[in-house]
Structure 1
Amino acid sequence: MSVRLLHPDEYELGTRSSLDSQGTFDLDEADFESQTLPKSRLLSLSHRWPLLSRLLSSTYSGYRRLRPSRPLLSASKRPVGCCRRLLFRRSCFYLHVVAGIIFALVVLTSIFQPSYTRPLSHYKSLRNAVQQSTAPGRGNPHNEKVFIAASLYDPNGELARGQWGAEVLQLVDLLGPENVFLSVYENDSGAEGERALREWEAQIPCDKSIVFEEHMDLQSLPTVTVPGGSHRVKRIEYLAEVRNRALRPLDDNPEKRYNKLLYVNDVLFNPVDALQLLFSTNAGEDGVAHYRAACSVDFINPFKFYDTYATRDLHGYSMGLPFFPWFSTAGNGDSRNDVLAGRDAVRVRSCWGGMVAFDARFFQYGAKESTGDHDWEKRNSTQELQSREESGISPVRFRASRDVFWEASECCLIHADLQDPPSNVDDLTDTGIYMNPYVRVAYDSRTLSWLGTTRRFEKLYAFIHNIGNHLVGLPWFNPRRAEIFGQAAEETVWVPDPVGNGEGTFQTVERIAGNDGFCGRRGLQVIVEHREEGQKGWENIPVPP
């Protein structure tokens, strides 16, 4: 596939094209933690590390500093050409030495200490079962019922007709068509996108709901009033609605029961890896996977982790620099330590990574039937889930934050809603939500083909990653990270003027804390409803001072 596929949060209105990130969705612009450091932070760094300041300064000259104050030869007698040749030869020698050391480390690490290349025995057993048979359902050892959901934007039909469509069909075969319900929602993709979707629909052997909507009506979505008085739809509100429309068959057929729910974005993946995510993540002695949610790890190139916007470590801290081991040492650094230890179930508070497996109970009405996960039920029973089952309260769905100038990914908020609110965030030891680095997906076929190689020596990045995090100050401060659900908390929020013109002020107010403070950050992104050619489908509204 020649195009780069979309980030999990990157749905746009008119041209959600995967062809060019600058033309659709720039992660560095949408993810505030990936932006270039502001001048104030650079000034701060210069005070903390004067050497770094001198290195970055255009007036600093290492040569002048190293030059002796009293030269041994006058300028007219100094053999300039000879010195230059000697300096060049020495530089080449040292460069070759450094390159040799790096090469040796890469080779030795790849052979003796590779990262996430030697899976646990139950991973091998599942893979062998797939390879030794051609029968449908060979990758579903316990015949679990799986609801697969996807929301697409595919104007050229390259997803449905290409590698993504073929991988989903293969996954259905491995799970067994009788065990799968496939729900796909696509909108605003044009005539060619619809033709491709209908062609693909004819090949699907399982129960399905394939919905194509020519244009989503935004009038039904909640709006916020922005400075100037206009009413706008939050970008996250739109994304949540798109995702929820792929889950509508759960509401339409509440009598049907599923063990797992797999949400697949328009990423490229190995279908066997999807099986491992579903059935191998955090498996116990009984061979059954135990989790509330399990995420893959997505890459925009062979080295760069992509989904920083939705991922939070075990104690709610945002990500470090977006390469291995991804998490910072903030707090106890438990998520980072899990990665470095090679665990298949890295403990986090939220994640996405292009493909997520959920315990389907959280998404169904009155899901009292057994999921086969008895031990997990006993150890991690949720009062909220139990009351939902007894009273028929709506199950979890994607949503947006209600505050005006506070943004949080719908892919993080969904995890906040399906975990037990902690009594002390910093004492958390497990949430039932895991990231599985054995399962990796990508946004283009070339990147996917490299992931098996680059993971072998990625342990070498850990030291540089830690230094880099400290230099740029990651993770950045979130005043709501440690809030306790249901307790009084002081928060700085945008308070609109009573006249309703969109103007207002930031005020510190006391209110009851929600369960999702760790997901958010200051900002506001809204949908552009009437786009011009070449314009993005969303825009940032500047945060008032």
Structure 2
Amino acid sequence: MAPHSEGETWGGHHESLELTSRDDAQDANLLTGRVVNRGKYQVSNLLGHVIPSTLRYTSYRRAPSPSRRRPRFCGRSLARSCVSLSYITLVIVILYSITGFIFFPNYSTLPPQYEALREQATSSNAPGSGNPKQQKVFIASNLYDPHGQLADGPWADNVLRLIHLLGPDNTYLSIYENDSGDVGSDAMDRLRAKTPCNNTLVVEDHLDRSGLPKITLVDGRKRVKRITYLAEVRNKALEPLADAETIFDKVLFLNDVYFDPVEILQLIFATNDGNYRAACAVDFINPFKFYDTFASRDLGGYSMGVPFFPWFSRGGDPRTHDDVIQGKDAVRVRSCWGGMVSFDATFFQPSDEKIAPITASEISPANLSAPYRFRAEEDTYWEASECCLIHADIQSPDHEQSGIFMNPFVRVGYTPRTHAWLGFTKRFEALYTPVHYLVDIIAGFPHHNARREEEPWSEVDEVVWVIDESLEEGGSFQQVTRLASHSAFCGHRALSVMNEEYSGEVDIDSYEKIPLPSGGLPS
């Protein structure tokens, strides 16, 4: 049926209005309550093809009632304005992202020495092709692998590839695995058979905790601190160093992460031209989110910001934040881990061939000296990552340069999918910077640490938990005078202990977070 023309029907008879002039047309439209602007109507027909239907402005409006005038801004026009604003914002964000992705990619152009190392490593299949100076590297790792997916999968393949690039004669592989069962043990046996370098691959049915130091909880239970357990496991992987005849140049600690073996070479040999006490990768739990915030501190000892680029809060030490923004390969930090970290091996084994490092033992009663090992804090209600504490122990006393760096060119993921996406997502991560700055302010990052500004080995007043079995809660928080620690920047007031009935990977089910005693802290 053909559409009706502008007209009305009375008594079943159709009568068309013949529009012979502009005045007649306006009169006719007044009968239907419409005022037509012919020019706008024609333009809107053209724009209707390119503007989403929700944003199209109707080309006519009802004539206002003589008795009542509508408000200037009604609900419908406000809704249209909101939709229009959202559409415009979306277009701007998309254009902004595309511009950043194409013209301002972040950490995507490798420094010349990184490119040269990759070319050298990949241009030849000879053992040691990725080790220009034929340095000696000790690789240490801890595994929990009940399904054998690590020792029998891509992780092991990449480790073997790394050994080939370093050269089997230059490499020692030490893996400590516990509580993984028969499947994990069998997978380790197969990896051992394929490993071309000297190695110590240990699988224990269960890690005996009876010899580990314990603390007393308010209910009288004696438990092992979670960090004490983790430090012991990491030290198990370092045990072969105690009797090693080889003097190693680097110690590489490697988590159960997915990585590019050539990037590990860049971490070891190219970070700050190989001159460091420790150099860390950057690890991701998904393509956008930085993972290991517990172990990472900026050059001023401040905790991290929100866990996406640039990771470090502008409200902390701006030197670290600015190093990331400027795209440096050696971002100055006090501590990091990032899924893998390369250490100067001097700190982990005695060596007469190198100058002894400056240690805390020279200026304090801490008795810290090489060979260093992982440890936990002794305070009951003070928690710090063993991965942060080892950096606190080995760092330079120079406040301007710790000798510890994080390298954002080297990235690892905890799943294959995450690792595969990292090359793409980093191209536009610089666009997050203003959002990161605002969210940090709103969320109050970095978190406050009352002990961060303490001068190591100076006399300070601190609130600590003092054991007193005569009290119902087994002790109380008291203010005591003592020497400040060199590692206080790593910690915060908390406590996690191992569940005695649980064995295996140290995940959320393996430990218990203990709340502060009801007495609270003194004012």
Q: TM range, normalised to the smaller chain?
A: 0.7 to 0.9
Counterpart Cα distance in 1 of 2:209 and 2:416: 34
Pick one of 77, 101, 107 that aligns with 1:116.
Answer: 107
The equivalent of 1:349 in structure 2 is: 334
* Matching residue of 1:418: 394
TM-score for both structures, normalised by structure 1: 0.78
Structure 1 residues 217-366: aligned runs within 5 Å: 217-253=208-244, 255-283=245-273, 289-365=274-350
TM-aligned CA deviation for residue 107 of structure 1: 1.6
Change (3 A) 1:332 1:238: closer
Alignment partners' CA distance in 2, 1:166 and 1:385: 41
1:381-413 deviations in whole A, cap 9, x for unaligned?
5255999xxx99551100000000000000000
Distance in 2 (CA, whole Å) between partners of 1:412 and 1:130 is 32
**How far off its partner does 1:430 sit?**
0.9
Structure 1 segments, 4+ long, off by >6 Å, are 76-79, 82-85, 532-535
Partners of 2:453 and 2:488 in 1: how far apart?
8
Paired position in structure 2 for 1:96: 87
Q: TM-score, normalised by structure 2?
A: 0.81
Q: Relative contact order: is structure 1 or structure 2 higher (C-alpha 8 Å, sep ≥ 6)? A: 1
Deviation at 1:96, TM superposition (A): 2.6
Structure 1 equivalent of residue 375 of structure 2: 399
User: Using the alignment, how far apart are the partners of 1:434 and 1:385 within structure 2?
Assistant: 23
> Structure 1: which amino acid aligns with 2:391?
H
Unaligned runs of 5+ in 1: 1-71, 284-288, 371-376, 423-427
Structure 1 residues 385, 360: closer, same or farther in 2, change over 3 A?
Answer: farther
Q: Match of 1:127? A: 118
Distance 1:219 1:206 in 2: 34
* Residue correspondences, number: 450
Matched, 1:136 2:127: yes
Distance 1:219 1:532, change over 3 A: closer
Contact 1:229 1:501 in 2 (8 A): no
Q: Report the alpha carbon displacement of residue 535 of structure 1 after superposing the two structures with TM.
A: 8.0
CA distance in 2, matches of 1:386, 1:146: 28
- Residues 107 and 327 of structure 2 are in contact (CA less than 8 Å); yes or no, is this contact kept in structure 1? yes
The residue type paired with residue 539 of structure 1 is E
- For the residue of structure 2 that corresponds to 1:95, the secondary structure is helix
| Deviation per residue, 1:329-359 (Å, 9 max, x gap) | 2354110000001010000000001000000
Provide structure 2 residue ranges, at least 5 long, that are not aligned to the other structure. 1-63
Find the residue that maps to 1:441 and give its secondary structure. strand
Q: Residue type matched to 1:352 in 2?
A: W
SS of alignment partner, residue 106 of structure 2: coil
Who wins on radius of gyration, i.e. which is larger?
Answer: 2
Cα 1:73–1:463 change in 2 (3 A) is farther
Q: Distance in 2 between matches of 1:278 and 1:134?
A: 20
Question: Residue 148 of structure 1 is aligned with which of 99, 120, 139?
Answer: 139
Residue 212 (structure 1) aligned to one of 198, 203, 206: 203
Percent of matched pairs sharing the same residue: 50
Give the letter for the 1:486 counterpart. Answer: W
Aligned to 2:44: none
Question: Against the structure 1 CA distance between its residues 202 and 431, is the aligned structure 2 distance closer, same or farther, given a 3 Å change threshold?
Answer: same
Alpha-carbon distance in 1 for matches of 2:173, 2:359: 30
**2:499 matched to which residue of 1?**
528
**Separation in 2 of the partners of 1:77 and 1:159?**
74
**Cα distance in structure 2, aligned partners of 1:308 and 1:464:** 19
Alignment pair present for 1:431 and 2:402: yes
Whole-Å separation in 2 of the counterparts to 1:540 and 1:414: 23
1:51-66 alignment runs, 5 A limit: none
Of 369, 374, 388, 2:353 maps to 369
**Offset at residue 90 of structure 1 (A):** 4.2
Distance 1:206 1:385 in 2: 36
Deviation, 1:421, is: 3.5
3-state DSSP of counterpart to 1:250: helix
Q: Provide the alpha-carbon RMSD of the alignment.
A: 2.7
